[in-house]
């Protein structure tokens, strides 16, 4: 789908809002208001995927196919695949920490599994 059409569809969906565009990576972050989940989509994924599939992923009705593992550190999105083992270890330690964020503990296992998969590649 064309990127302009994607933005129009996000704008028309009352549960979604575009929140960021990373000009370096070309990723678009979309926030799902009811679940408070923010999903980063590479431009290439938007261009090769139909709206019905993208909408299902953005609204949580469908699990996304993982194209890149990304994280946000100090306000910038970064591809985790580019990190060395030391940086991945640091991320693991951060994930295991309790920072007082509601719901953070419930996602710890999934995040640790994702980091372990990246390290084992």
pLDDT 10s digits, 60-98:
888 776 555 566 665 666 677 777 888 777 777 777 765
Residue 67: the pLDDT is 54
High-pLDDT (> 90) share of the chain, %: 18
Residue 50: the pLDDT is 92
> Dihedral of CA 105/103/106/86: which sign?
negative
Residue 10: the pLDDT is 93
Residue 18 in this model has a pLDDT that exceeds 70: yes
């Amino acid at each position: 789908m064309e990127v302009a059409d994607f933005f129009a569809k996000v704008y028309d969906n009352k549960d979604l809002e575009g929140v960021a565009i990373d000009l370096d990576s070309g990723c678009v972050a979309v926030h799902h208001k009811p679940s408070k989940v923010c999903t980063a989509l590479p431009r290439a994924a938007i261009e090769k995927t139909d709206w019905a599939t993208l909408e299902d992923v953005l609204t949580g009705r469908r699990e996304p196919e993982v194209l890149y593992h990304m994280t946000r550190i100090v306000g910038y999105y970064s591809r985790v695949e580019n990190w060395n083992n030391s940086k991945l270890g640091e991320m693991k330690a951060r994930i295991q920490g309790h920072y007082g964020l509601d719901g953070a503990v419930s996602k710890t296992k999934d995040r640790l599994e994702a980091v372990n998969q990246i390290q084992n590649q």
